[in-house]
């Protein structure tokens, strides 16, 4: 969806139009008073004020404030356990990667968007016992809230044993990402979705995910 024309983008035309009106008003009053043999400086000021010709300061325009990312329409659905296998484990139906798609909206004010995936992400990035593992990152140019951003990432399917894995996508602004760890600095500027993946289990192995259908987590948006 293309961005809508914002009202402040048309403001220079409005100010120019107002300026032209003020100049015309000023010129007409001065010409009238110059032609009058009884004009005094105080009369000039009074006439201009009475005619509404006093110039006003231009309005101060403020840049739009950044908003927390909002996520919608995730694929695959986080409300169910997603089975996925590597081709080494399941040559007939396996895949090298899992495609992830999410729509994002936010007011960015020049600050780009970062979509980052982790395994075993808990949100408590300061926990020294955390087993969170960074996966990959997608960088998106900044835009306005009314512009729909398509976030597309691929998660590489491992070739290991059957297991259930929580894959979390966090979306935040670039200035809120720690450059070394890729963790967010402030969780108030974060939206996230967690998918539970049944990995490399094409039916021969019994594994149990610690969640039931409909219990996957989504924050900062809707699924």
The pLDDT tens digits of the residues spanning 133-188 come to 999 999 999 999 999 999 999 999 999 889 999 999 999 999 999 988 899 999 99
Domain ranges of the chain: 8-50, 70-219
The pLDDT-based confidence of 2 (bands split at 50, 70, 90) is very low
Burial of 68 (0-12, 13-18, 19+ CB in 10 A): middle
Q: Which residue has the higher pLDDT, 73 or 33?
A: 73
Q: How far apart are CA 133 and CA 82, in angstroms?
A: 19
Give every CB contact of residue 124 below 8 A, 6+ residues apart in sequence. Answer: 130
**pLDDT at 45 exceeding the cut of 70:** no
In 3D space, the residue among 64, 57, 56, 58 whose CA is nearest the CA of residue 7 turns out to be 64
Q: Are 119 and 83 in contact (CB under 8 A)?
A: no
The pLDDT tens digits of the residues spanning 177-213 come to 998 889 999 999 999 999 999 999 887 556 678 775 5
Topology annotation, domain 70-219: Immunoglobulin-like (2.60.40)
Q: Is the pTM of this model over 0.85?
A: no
């Amino acid at each position: 969806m293309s961005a809508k024309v914002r009202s402040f983008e048309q403001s220079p035309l409005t100010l120019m139009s107002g300026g032209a009106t003020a100049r015309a008003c000023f010129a007409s009053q001065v010409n009238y008073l110059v032609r009058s043999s009884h004009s005094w400086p105080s009369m000039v000021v009074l006439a201009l004020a009475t005619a509404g010709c006093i110039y006003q300061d231009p309005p101060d325009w403020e840049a739009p404030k950044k908003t927390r990312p909002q996520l919608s329409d995730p694929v695959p659905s986080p409300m169910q356990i997603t089975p996925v296998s590597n081709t080494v484990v399941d040559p007939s139906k396996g895949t090298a990667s899992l495609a992830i798609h999410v729509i994002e909206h936010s007011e960015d004010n020049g600050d780009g968007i970062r979509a980052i995936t982790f395994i075993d992400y808990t949100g408590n990035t300061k926990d020294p016992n955390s087993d969170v593992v960074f996966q990959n990152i997608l960088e998106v140019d900044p835009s306005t809230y009314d512009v729909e951003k398509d976030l597309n990432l691929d998660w590489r399917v491992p070739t290991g044993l059957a297991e259930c894995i929580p894959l979390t996508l966090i979306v935040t602004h670039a200035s809120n990402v720690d450059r070394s760890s890729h963790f967010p600095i402030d969780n108030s500027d974060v939206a996230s979705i967690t998918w539970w993946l049944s990995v490399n289990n094409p039916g021969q192995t019994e594994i149990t995910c610690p969640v039931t259908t409909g219990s996957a987590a989504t924050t900062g948006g809707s699924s």
